[in-house]
Amino acid sequence: MSKLALMGLCTSLVLACAEQQAEYYIDQLADPRRQVRLDASHALVQLGGSTVEPLIARSIGGTDSLQYIAAQILGQLGDQRATPLLTALIGDENRYVREQAVRALGQLDDPRLNPTLQNPLSNDPIPEVRGAAAWSLGNLRDTTAVAPLVRALTDSVALVRQQALAALQFLWTPAAEAASIAALRDPDGSVRYIAAQMLGHHQTHPALDALCHALTDDNIWVRVESAHALGRIGDATAVAPLERLFSTRAGPDHEAAKAALQQLTGLNYAVAPE
C-alpha cells in the first residue's frame, strides 16, 4: 500500500471513530440528568465537524428537546452544513426551538441568510424569537439588514426594540445613526440607555442636541450614558447642560457629568452640588 493510500485510510478511520463518538454523545442528549446532557453537549462541540452530520441526521424528526440542543450545538460549531436544518426549524411549532434555530443561523457567518432571518424578525408572534432574529442579523454584519432592523424599532415590545437597536451598532450607516438618535425618545428606558451608549461609542456629532436633552431624562442611567457620550463627542456646546446636571444632581449622573466636563474643558469640577 502506498504512503498516500495509507494516509487516506488512517484519515477515514479517524473520521469513523469520531462519528461513532458523536453518536454516543448524541444518545446522551436524551438523558434525564441535566449535567449529563451538558457534558455531552460540550463533548460534541469539542469533536467539531465530525459532529455535524450525525447530529443533523438525528435531529430530523427528533424530539423538541433534541432539536433545541442540536440547534445550540450547531450554532456554536458554525458549520454551514447545518443551514437547511436550522432554516427548517425556524418554522417549528415549538417557540424555544424556533428561537434557538434563529440564533444559531446568526452564528453561521453567512450574510446570504439575511432574508431568512428577516421573516421571523417581522412576523414571529413570540417577542423572544423576534429579538433573537435581530441579534442574528447584527451578528452577520451585513448592512442590508439595516432597514428591517430600523423597522423593528417600532415593535410593540421593548425587548425587540432593545435587540434591534443593539444590532445596529454593528451596522453603522447613516440610517442606523438617525434611528439611534430617534431612539433617545423611546418610551423604554433601556432602549434610550442603549441609544446613548451607542451614540457615544460612535462619537455621533449630529446627536449632540438630543443627548443634551437626554441629560434631563427621568432615568438616571440614561443621564449617565448621555453625559459619557457628550464627553466622547467632545463638543464644547455641551458644557452648559453638563454643568446644570453637575450642579443639580447627586449620584452617578453627577459623577458622569463631572468626568465629561473635565474631558471637554480640562478643568477639575471638584465642587459638590449644594
Q: Assign 243 a pLDDT band (cuts: 50, 70, 90).
A: very high
**Residue predicted with more confidence, 20 or 182:** 182
Span 20-109 CATH architecture: Alpha Horseshoe (1.25)
For residue 273, pLDDT over 50 is answered with no
To which residue does cell 449535567 refer?
Answer: 35
Domain locations in the chain as residue ranges = 20-109, 112-171, 181-266
pTM: 0.88
Per the CATH hierarchy, to which homologous superfamily does domain 181-266 belong? Leucine-rich Repeat Variant (1.25.10.10)
pLDDT of 17: 65
- State the burial class of residue 14 (Cβ atoms within 10 Å of its Cβ: 0-12, 13-18, 19+): exposed
The pLDDT of 79-98, averaged and rounded, is 97
User: Is the fold of 112-171 the same as that of 181-266?
Assistant: yes
For residue 8, pLDDT over 50 is answered with no
The pLDDT of 144-169, averaged and rounded, is 98
Q: Assign 13 a pLDDT band (cuts: 50, 70, 90).
A: very low
CATH topology of domain 112-171: Leucine-rich Repeat Variant (1.25.10)
Tens digit of pLDDT for each residue in 136-150? 999 999 999 999 999
Q: Assign 248 a pLDDT band (cuts: 50, 70, 90).
A: confident
Instruction: Decide: 242 and 260 in contact? Cβ < 8 Å.
Output: yes
Q: Distance between CA 21 and CA 41 in Å, rounded?
A: 12
Q: Is the dihedral of CA 185, 191, 192, 197 positive or negative?
A: negative
